[in-house]
Amino acid sequence: MFLKSTNIGVHRKGSASLSFPDLSVDTGDSVLLLGPSGSGKTTLLSALAGLLKPSEGSVQIEGNDFYALSSAKRDQIRGQNFGFVFQTLHLLPSLTLRQNIALAADMAKASPDEGRLDKLIKDLGLTDKAHRKPDALSQGEQQRAAIARAVLLRPKVIMADEPTSALDDENAQKVMDLLEAQAKDTGAALLIATHDNRITNRFKNIITLTDQTKEVA
Amino acid sequence: MNALTLAVASIKSRPLHSSLCMAAVAAGIALLCAVFLFSQSVAAGFARNAQGIDIVVGTKGSPLQMVLSSVYHADIPAGNITMADYEELKRSRQVRQAIPLALGDSYKGFRMVGATPAYLDLYKAEFKNGGVFSKPFETVAGAHTGLAVGQEIAVTHGFAANSDDVHDAHLYKITGVLKPTGTVLDKLLVTQVASVQQLHAGHSHYDHAEEDEEKEPEEHNHHSHDDEHSHDHHEDHQHDSHDHETHDHEAHEHDEPAHDESEHEGHDHEDRHESDDDLAGQVTAVLIKVRSPVDLMNLPRKINESSNVMAAVPSYEMARFTKSLGIGKQLVIVLGIGFVILAALMLLASLASGLSLRRYDLAVLRVLGAAPARLFATVMAEAAMISGAGAIIGVIAGHLIAYSAVISIESLRGLVLPGTLLAPNVTDIWFILLGVGTGLFAAFVPSLAAARTDIAGLLAKGRS
């Protein structure tokens, strides 16, 4: 089992306490975290990715307690094994599209694989735009670049936070196709958090989160 | 791609902001650098002009005035001492070299200095054309006088460029023109002491003999008829032990309407001559090189205590003088430091505001695996580059400011070598480091904030 969570709860001051159902993800899996906004989907993803130490419970990565590791080690593991796609794209406006994708390797301190980078850019139809800044690209092109960045290092798990909610039906399905294709290509697990019901039919493994703010309030 | 590439990209993406911060750093550093170079080169100029001159001896009065007038040729001499005083100094065991100076005349504002060829050697002068004087009324011209070998000139009495009091009895002949030395010598004419003495001894005999003799005695600071520094010359005048009418010096009581009164004010100009025979037997000052550092300590005290002449140490007098000028310099330094602090604040504001825009970018970097230290380094690198570029621009500008200040101030010519102000200076490195240090100091808090970005919280909120 690559990634496993047990009895995770997150208490942050100023916001509701969240507790989450247990979850386990292995390479090749596809898991959908379905829940309305306020159900703590992003918080759960952060906790699973080593970005937010849960107040209770534990996260295991390849059998080890993720938060028993040093923060530097967690950063390193995350950089090399996790790929992220966000609802808002988070491409750096000061860098070109190609530099944005290459950033994944730089930040994870992995040696850049130029061949892989070029192939990804070509496969995603971005070759012409490789040296443009994100501002000069369409929404769809930015979305594809963000996915390319997530999969550059052949991660073990691709985490996507609301990858489709801002898109129309056609683009939503295209992005899901792309994510699934890239996950299959790299052998990565796909963990998608969304409230977008249009894509639920693609998943067998669905974990439903409820809006926990109401219970507390 | 590393922290530097990211920083460069970030700087480029906000050109106006970045260049304003750079300009602020540059302004502060330029000001500090210019003040430093300026005062350094002036101090070096003072030192260069006083090289080989351990002690100046002249008539009693203000030591600073004596140093200024006989070393830097910047003030009016207070009076003269006798040749006998000079001879006595020259014979002293403690004196290695004594150069007599006879001052009092000028040519178009360039002072005529009666001295010995050793005076030229003090400044390691080299001839561009011609050679040294060997007879009375032969003279060597400094590099900036614009004179040529073979030219004959009539000097005027006093130091003003527009003086009408021409010593036309004797013309000086230029025997040599010197190469620039970066010292006062560049603006001087040097001749034998005897030339000046003769000219003044003969002043009344030859000059303006036809001019009216009934006018008020002209007030002169003139070595050939001054033998004592006095503050109450009017009184002296009235109680003059000599009969004016019997003296030839009346001949110089000519009309000089254009003569600058202020030039003479406060200086002695009594006409109480001991004897006409002594007119020729005087020098204005003696430049002394001592045999040992101990002599430098003892000789001035000995002279001041035991004789009717005064000794002053140029380096000491100039140190006191520049110290009193130091207030202006301090003001500019305070201004420069103020600019640097302002630059630091601007940089701080710029980075802080830039950071709130870039919080998501930084969070992304963390998500992609960058450790907090790396984000810290990225923001610090950005500040270092902006302030470093600003500091380099500032140092270059500082050199140019100091250079243009020096070439535009006429009185600094001969004191300061403008070329040296353009040359790179070791301290440039310190100014650049100061600029970068200021930038890093300003960036510390924003960098820390960047490193501590709450990623989970930011991601949950999303980019608006």
pLDDT 10s digits, B73-96? 887 888 888 888 888 888 888 889
Q: Are the C-beta atoms of residues A104 and A149 closer than 8 Å to each other?
A: yes
* Model pLDDT, residue A193: 92
Report for A117-121, B279-283, B349-353: range of highest mean pLDDT: A117-121
Nearest Cα residue in chain B from A91: B361
Give the alpha-carbon dihedral of B387, B388, B392, B397, to 10 degrees: 0
Nearest to B169 by CA among B211, B131, B221: B211
Residue B331 contacts A where some CB pair is shorter than 8 Å? no
Compare B241 and A36 and report the one with higher pLDDT: A36
Q: Are the C-beta atoms of residues B200 and B155 closer than 8 Å to each other?
A: no
* pLDDT of B445 over the 70 cut: yes
Write phi, then psi, for B136 (nearest 5 degrees). Answer: -55, 145
Name the DSSP letter for residue A134: G
Q: pLDDT tens digit string along B339-368?
A: 788 888 888 887 787 777 777 788 888 888
CA-CA distance, A124 to A119, in Å (whole number)? 8
* Model pLDDT, residue B429: 93
ipTM, two decimals, is: 0.85
Kindly calculate the radius of gyration of chain B based on its CA atoms and give it in whole angstroms.
32
Q: Per DSSP, what are the bridge partners of residue B140?
A: B176, B190
Q: pLDDT tens digit string along B284-294?
A: 999 999 888 88
Q: Using the CB atoms, write b or e for B176-198: b if 16+ within 10 Å.
A: bbbebbbbbbbbbbbbbbebbbb
Least confident range of A170-184, B162-176, B220-234: B220-234
Over residues A69-98, the mean pLDDT reads: 86
* Residues on chain B touching A46 (C-beta within 8 angstroms): 455-456, 459-460
Percent of chain B's residues with pLDDT above 70: 79
Residue B363 contacts A where some CB pair is shorter than 8 Å? yes
* Model pLDDT, residue B263: 43
Write phi, then psi, for B259 (nearest 5 degrees). Answer: -70, 135
CA-CA distance, B28 to B345, in Å (whole number)? 12
CB contact under 8 A, B459 and A161: yes
Choose the closest CB to B1 out of A46, A75, A99: A99
Choose the closest CB to A90 out of B10, B364, B374: B364
Give the amino acid at B69. S
Q: Per DSSP, what are the bridge partners of residue A82?
A: A157
Sign of CA dihedral B113, B114, B115, B121: positive
CB contact under 8 A, A94 and B12: yes
Nearest Cα residue in chain A from B456: A46
CB contact under 8 A, A94 and B374: no
Q: Are the C-beta atoms of residues B332 and B398 closer than 8 Å to each other?
A: no
CB contact under 8 A, A107 and B363: no
The domain limits of chain B are 3-47+326-461, 55-312
CA-CA distance, A165 to A198, in Å (whole number)? 9
Over residues B419-437, the mean pLDDT reads: 88
* pLDDT of B22 over the 70 cut: yes
Which residues neighbour B240 within 8 Å (Cβ) at sequence distance 6 or greater?
A: B270, B271, B272
Nearest Cα residue in chain B from A41: B460
Write phi, then psi, for B268 (nearest 5 degrees). Answer: -75, 145
Whole-number average pLDDT of chain B = 78
Mutate to test the interface with A, among B2, B5, B367, B458 (most CBs of A within 10 A): B367
Over residues A63-84, the mean pLDDT reads: 89
Percent of chain B's residues with pLDDT above 90: 12
Tokens found for residue B443: 């960036």
CB contact under 8 A, A51 and B366: yes
Residue A213 banded pLDDT, cuts 50, 70, 90: low
Percent of chain A's residues with pLDDT above 70: 97
In angstroms, what separates the C-alpha of B344 from chain A's closest C-alpha?
24
In angstroms, what separates the C-alpha of B25 from chain A's closest C-alpha?
24
Q: Per DSSP, what are the bridge partners of residue A84?
A: A159
* Model pLDDT, residue A89: 61
Alpha-helix residue ranges (DSSP H) falling in B72-161: 83-91, 117-122
* pLDDT of B398 over the 90 cut: yes
- Residue for token digits 């919280």? B457
Q: pLDDT tens digit string along B96-114?
A: 989 998 988 888 888 999 9
Residue B331 banded pLDDT, cuts 50, 70, 90: confident
Sheet of strand A189-194: strand arrangement: A82-85, A157-161, A189-194, A30-34, A205-208
* Model pLDDT, residue B433: 93
* pLDDT of B326 over the 90 cut: no
Question: Can you spell out the DSSP letters for B227-266?
Answer: -S--S-HHHHHHT-SS-GGG-GGGGG----TTS-HHHHTT
**Domain A3-92+155-216, what fold?**
Rossmann fold (3.40.50)
Choose the closest CB to B369 out of A75, A92, A102: A75
The domain limits of chain A are 3-92+155-216
The residues of A whose Cβ lies within 8 A of any Cβ of B are: 12, 42-43, 45-47, 49, 51-52, 71-72, 75-76, 78-80, 84, 86-88, 90, 92-95, 99, 102-104, 106-109, 149, 161
In angstroms, what separates the C-alpha of A192 from chain B's closest C-alpha?
15
CB contact under 8 A, A102 and B1: yes
Chains A, B: CB pairs < 8 Å = 84
| HSE of B158, CA atoms in CB hemisphere, 13 A | 23
Q: How many CB atoms lie within 10 A of CB B76?
A: 20
* Model pLDDT, residue B225: 44
Over residues B215-233, the mean pLDDT reads: 44
Compare B202 and B133 and report the one with higher pLDDT: B133
* pLDDT of B278 over the 50 cut: no
Q: Are the C-beta atoms of residues B459 and A161 closer than 8 Å to each other?
A: yes
CB contact under 8 A, B1 and A51: no
* Model pLDDT, residue B413: 66
Compare A37 and B93 and report the one with higher pLDDT: B93
CA-CA distance, B25 to A112, in Å (whole number)? 37
* Model pLDDT, residue B202: 55
Percent of chain A's residues with pLDDT above 90: 19
Residue B219 banded pLDDT, cuts 50, 70, 90: very low
- Residue for token digits 């021409």? B166
Q: Are the C-beta atoms of residues B192 and B162 closer than 8 Å to each other?
A: no
CB contact under 8 A, A46 and B13: no
